[in-house]
Amino acid sequence: MQNEILFFILSLITIVSSLVMISAHRPIDSALSFIVTLVSIAALFGLLNASFLFVVQIIIYAGAILSLILFIIMFLNIKDENLPDEKYKNYWLLGTSLIIAPFSAILVDLILRSNIAVNAAVHENFGTIKDVGLTLFSEWVLPFELVSILLLVALVGAVTLSKKEV
């Protein structure tokens, strides 16, 4: 019961803050509500016993990436008159949500049809660092290494792009 109440509160926060993130006029409002979204998603992970994901979500997304984004937004020093006049924003939002609606319907249908048992008992070590690490390095070594090469390429690319102007 407690878990359900917490889940509803957290998912309400997540949904509201992600809506604010999309619809906010100023970039700083968007970035800050994105932080709220990420932290509440992290809390949802925590609720699902995935403690490692919970901590990693906060360290990587909320702690590192978003603080860099905020840093850049602060650096740009955007004034209100610099922002574009978003006259048709509501129509855009309405249009895109109409386009996305069928896909969401499929997704909901899939979730309803799938046989994921609600409240299924997970084994004791589920989501702990040891378990995640063992799974990652035994069953998923190849994808893991490929992803890390991808990240390395992106890193090198960022460095070369920013070096060009010197």
Please give the residue ranges that form the binding site for another protein (CB under 8 A): 28, 32, 35, 51-52, 55-56, 58-59, 62-64, 67-68, 70-71, 74-75, 77, 128-129
Is residue 45 within 8 A of residue 126, CB to CB? The reply is no
Separation between Cα atoms, residue 101 and residue 53, nearest integer Å: 29
Q: Alpha-carbon torsion 97, 100, 106, 112, what sign?
A: negative
CA gap 62, 37 in Å, rounded? 9
Least distance from another protein to the Cβ atom of residue 10, Å: 17
**Of the two residues 12 and 74, which places its CB atom closer to another protein in the complex?**
74
How many other C-beta atoms can be found within 10 angstroms of the C-beta atom of residue 32? 18
The smaller minimum CB distance to another protein, of residues 7 and 52, is found at 52
For another protein, which is the closer residue by CB, 76 or 153?
A: 76
Neighbours of 54 (CB within 10 A): 20
Pick 35 or 41: Cβ nearer another protein: 35
CA 40 to chain centre: 10
* Sequence letter at residue 55: V
Q: Least distance in Å: CB of 88 to another protein?
A: 26
Burial class (CB in 10 A: 0-12, 13-18, 19+), 39: buried
